[in-house]
């Protein structure tokens, strides 16, 4: 059976340290000026002294119905057998249709290859060696979980079965595979 | 402001810039010009004579699409790999369908031009092409019909291209292809008029020219109607779509819309209709109004591209 790779970001455990951001840059040779993953620190929310921040992971959502793949004229953007949204660099001509069409704005043009680029869960490097993606391994608070959701014994499957999670922009019908455990501290937005 | 997570430049939602707006304009101009040239031929009584309007469209059609495609290719990050798009097709993608359509439209447009301009070619030292013109003559009707259908496709395609992105509520609307087709017709009419009056010595009183002039008002009214529909649908969709309406009041693109699209593109041509008939039908006045129409269409493409991408779902 094919794998259904998913990632879960526990926003309660995240501290916004950007270790994931740095580890990704190092593992995937991401050039300066562009990033595959950022954790945006939003806030502070609440009344002093009970302030808190929210942490929002910005990276490829590995959509099941990926707009970037639909719009790509040459088929350079594709979904592989394990559901990972991937790019054939040699088929990409840099029309930037995918960069524009991505509702999460996580695609960019790699200034060195001149092709579209983004997070692919380290599939060519660490995943190929049977390791977890760099961001997951490096996270000091274990806020990231990664695995095969088709395997009911995997950590991610258990987590998704027991915790409340949400995904970004589900109203666009993209079916993202990055899930988020919402921060417990709520608050009324003005 | 400094942040700890890095450069934000890549997250700018405005991905496609003015070069794409110019391409959309050129494609619309080419398609509109061809549609009007061929359409008016079908409605003319004497089909033996190549009218100045048809000759104008035979020039604008291929030239505008070639310039537009040149813009498109040099906007790629890998311009010298553009041929990859000609051999790899993902027919889920509007762009791939557009490439296929343009691949038929461009050569057919050139072929049709050679037929229409066969008496003109020797004057431009292109006499060696005349035998090809005569070779193509028997297929004229077929080429004409195919080119007309493809021109409708190309005109609407530029709208489908950007309305296919559901990330942008202002672009992701059903009316956009229709709006682009209508404004392409408006640009095509203006372009044909300018070339016919300046290059083919037609006078402002020619039957064809006045017929073409009569198209202005219905096309402008259609465009205005489509714009009202666009903004109304955004308003009632609510949420991110309704927020995109701020583009009508904020920032530079509001000025481009009100001064460029509405002021120059709609108001000047409409107001010119209230001039006394004598003043209205001078060559200078007709050229001025046509230039205003073209400017308005160019402004509309810029407004849609930039304002459309500024607001994200």
Instruction: Summarize pLDDT for A83-136 with one digit per residue, the tens.
Output: 999 999 999 999 999 999 999 999 999 999 999 999 999 999 999 999 999 999
Question: Which of B165, B169, B305, B312 has the highest number of chain A CBs within 10 A, making it the mutation to test binding with A?
Answer: B165
* pLDDT for B1 beyond 60: no
For B190, the enclosing helix (H) or strand (E) is helix B175-199
Instruction: Summarize pLDDT for B92-137 with one digit per residue, the tens.
Output: 999 999 999 999 999 999 999 999 999 999 999 998 999 999 999 9
Q: How many CA atoms lie within 13 A of B248 on its CB side?
A: 14
Q: Walk me through the domains of chain B, giving residue ranges and CATH numbers.
A: 15-310 (1.20.1630.10)
Residues in chain B within 8 Å Cβ distance of A16: 4
Q: Would residue A142 count as lying in a domain?
A: yes
Q: Positive or negative CA dihedral for B105, B107, B113, B116? A: negative
B82 contacts A93? CB cut-off 8 A: yes
Contact yes or no for A63/A106 (Cβ under 8 A): no
Indicate the residue of B16, B88, B309 with minimum beta-carbon distance to A91: B88
Indicate the residue of B11, B76, B94 with minimum beta-carbon distance to A94: B76
User: How far is Cα B185 from Cα B183, in angstroms, rounded to an integer?
Assistant: 5
Residue matched to tokens 């059976």 = A1
Q: Is B4 helix (H, G, I), strand (E, B) or coil?
A: coil
Min Cα–Cα distance to chain A from B251, Å? 21
Query: Going by C-beta distance under 8 Å and a sequence separation of 6 or more, which residues neighbour residue B243?
Result: B311
A171 contacts B81? CB cut-off 8 A: no
Three-state SS string across B80-141, please?
Answer: HHCCHHHHCCCCCCHHHHHHHHHHHHHHHHHHHHHHHCCCCHHHHCCHHHHHHHHHHHHHHH
* pLDDT for B210 beyond 80: yes
Q: Would residue A190 count as lying in a domain?
A: no
A171 contacts B313? CB cut-off 8 A: yes
Instruction: Summarize pLDDT for A172-186 with one digit per residue, the tens.
Output: 999 999 999 998 876
What pLDDT score was predicted for residue A27? Answer: 95
Q: What is the DSSP string of B61-85?
A: HHHHHHHHHHHHHHHSSSGGGTTHH
What pLDDT score was predicted for residue B209? Answer: 83
Q: What is the DSSP string of B246-301?
A: GGGTSHHHHHIIIIIIIIIIIIHHHHHTTS-HHHHTSHHHHHHHHHHHHHHHHHHH
Query: A21-36 burial, b for 16+ CB within 10 Å, e for fewer?
Result: bbbbbebbebeeebbb
Give B 237-296 residues with CB within 8 A of chain A. none
What pTM was estimated for this model as a whole? 0.94
ipTM: 0.92
* pLDDT for B217 beyond 80: yes
* pLDDT for A53 beyond 80: yes
Q: Would residue A189 count as lying in a domain?
A: no
What pLDDT score was predicted for residue A118? Answer: 97
Contact yes or no for B92/B98 (Cβ under 8 A): no
Q: How many CA atoms lie within 13 A of B168 on its CB side?
A: 29
Query: Going by C-beta distance under 8 Å and a sequence separation of 6 or more, which residues neighbour residue A181?
Result: A8, A9, A10, A11, A12, A159, A163, A164, A165
* pLDDT for B203 beyond 90: no
- Look at residues B87, B78, B69 and name the one whose alpha carbon lies nearest to residue A93: B78
A96 contacts B15? CB cut-off 8 A: yes
Q: Which residue of A has its CA nearest to B309?
A: A100
Residues in chain B within 8 Å Cβ distance of A100: 15-16, 165, 167-168, 309
Min Cα–Cα distance to chain B from A102, Å? 6
B84 contacts A93? CB cut-off 8 A: yes
Min Cα–Cα distance to chain A from B49, Å? 42
Min Cα–Cα distance to chain B from A187, Å? 21
User: How far is Cα B171 from Cα B230, in angstroms, rounded to an integer?
Assistant: 9
A101 contacts B167? CB cut-off 8 A: yes
Residue matched to tokens 């203006």 = B190
Instruction: Summarize pLDDT for A141-164 with one digit per residue, the tens.
Output: 999 999 999 999 999 999 999 999
What pLDDT score was predicted for residue A187? Answer: 60
Residues in chain B within 8 Å Cβ distance of A74: 84-85, 88-90, 96
What pLDDT score was predicted for residue A189? Answer: 58
Give B 76-135 residues with CB within 8 A of chain A. 76-78, 81-82, 84-85, 88-90, 92-96, 99
What pLDDT score was predicted for residue A104? Answer: 97
Q: Would residue A187 count as lying in a domain?
A: no
* pLDDT for A58 beyond 90: yes
Between the alpha carbon of residue A84 and those of residues A133, B112, B181, the distances in Å are 13, 47, 38
Whole-number mean pLDDT of chain A?
94
Query: Going by C-beta distance under 8 Å and a sequence separation of 6 or more, which residues neighbour residue B113?
Result: B58, B59, B61, B62
Report the DSSP pairing between strands A5-10 and A52-58: unpaired
Instruction: Summarize pLDDT for B61-86 with one digit per residue, the tens.
Output: 999 999 999 999 999 999 999 999 99
Could you give the number of structural domains in chain A?
Answer: 1
* pLDDT for B277 beyond 90: no
Does the beta carbon of A18 lie under 8 angstroms from any beta carbon of chain B? yes
* pLDDT for B44 beyond 90: no
Residues in chain B within 8 Å Cβ distance of A119: none
CA dihedral B277, B278, B283, B287 (to 10 degrees): -40
Residues in chain A within 8 Å Cβ distance of B168: 100
Name the band, by pLDDT with cuts 50, 70 and 90, for residue A73. very high
Q: What is the CATH number of the domain that holds A103?
A: 3.30.70.20
| Helical pair B52-75 and B207-237, crossing angle rounded to 10 deg | 40
* pLDDT for A45 beyond 90: no
Name the band, by pLDDT with cuts 50, 70 and 90, for residue A1. low
Residues in chain A within 8 Å Cβ distance of B313: 103, 169, 171-172
Q: Would residue A186 count as lying in a domain?
A: no
Indicate the residue of A41, A67, A94 with minimum beta-carbon distance to B165: A67
Residues in chain B within 8 Å Cβ distance of A171: 313
Q: Positive or negative CA dihedral for B41, B47, B51, B57? A: positive
How many interchain CB pairs under 8 A, A with B? 113
Question: How many percent of chain A have pLDDT more than 90?
Answer: 88
Give residue A144's domain range: 5-181
């Amino acid at each position: 059976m094919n794998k259904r790779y998913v990632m879960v970001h526990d926003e309660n455990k995240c501290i916004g340290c950007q270790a994931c951001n740095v580890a990704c840059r190092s593992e995937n040779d991401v050039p300066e000026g562009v990033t595959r993953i950022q954790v945006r620190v939003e806030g502070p929310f609440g009344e002093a002294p009970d302030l808190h921040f929210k942490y929002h992971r910005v990276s490829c959502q590995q959509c099941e119905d990926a707009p970037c793949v639909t719009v790509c004229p040459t088929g350079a953007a594709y979904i592989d057998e394990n559901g990972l949204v991937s790019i054939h660099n040699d088929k990409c001509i840099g029309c930037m249709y995918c960069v524009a069409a991505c509702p999460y704005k996580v695609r960019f043009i790699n200034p060195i290859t001149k092709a579209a680029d983004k997070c692919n869960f380290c599939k060519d490097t660490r995943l190929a060696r049977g390791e977890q993606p760099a961001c997951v391994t490096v996270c000091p608070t274990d806020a990231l979980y990664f695995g095969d959701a088709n395997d009911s014994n995997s950590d991610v499957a258990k987590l998704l079965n027991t915790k409340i999670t949400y995904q970004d922009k589900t109203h666009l019908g993209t079916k993202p595979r990055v899930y988020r455990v919402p921060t417990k501290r709520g608050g009324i937005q003005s | 402001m400094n942040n700890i997570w890095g450069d934000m430049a890549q997250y700018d939602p405005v991905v496609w810039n003015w070069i794409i707006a110019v391409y959309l304009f050129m494609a619309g101009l080419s398609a509109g010009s061809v549609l009007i040239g061929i359409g008016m031929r079908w409605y003319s009584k004497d089909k033996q004579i190549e009218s100045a309007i048809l000759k104008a469209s035979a020039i604008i059609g291929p030239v505008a699409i070639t310039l537009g495609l040149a813009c498109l290719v040099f906007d790629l990050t890998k311009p010298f790999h553009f041929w990859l798009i000609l051999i790899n097709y993902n027919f889920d993608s509007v762009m791939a369908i557009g490439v296929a359509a343009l691949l038929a439209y461009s050569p057919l447009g050139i072929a049709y031009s050679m037929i229409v301009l066969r008496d003109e070619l020797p004057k431009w030292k292109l006499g060696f092409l005349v035998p090809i013109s005569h070779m193509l003559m028997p297929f004229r009707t077929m080429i004409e019909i195919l080119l007309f259908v493809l021109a409708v496709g190309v005109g609407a395609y530029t709208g489908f291209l950007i309305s296919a992105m559901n990330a942008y509520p202002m672009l992701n609307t059903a009316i956009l292809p229709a709006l682009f087709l209508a404004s392409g017709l408006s640009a095509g009419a203006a372009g044909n008029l300018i070339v016919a009056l300046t290059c083919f010595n037609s006078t402002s009183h020619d039957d064809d020219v006045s017929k073409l002039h009569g198209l202005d008002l219905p096309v402008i009214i259609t465009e205005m109607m489509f714009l009202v529909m666009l903004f109304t649908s955004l308003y009632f969709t609510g949420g991110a779509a309704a927020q995109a309406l701020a583009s009508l009041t904020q920032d530079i693109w509001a000025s481009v819309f009100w001064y460029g699209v509405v002021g120059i593109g709609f108001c000047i041509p409409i107001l010119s209709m209230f001039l006394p008939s004598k003043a209205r039908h001078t060559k200078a006045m007709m050229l001025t109004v046509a230039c205003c129409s073209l400017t308005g269409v160019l402004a509309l493409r810029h407004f849609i591209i930039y304002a459309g991408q500024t607001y994200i779902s």
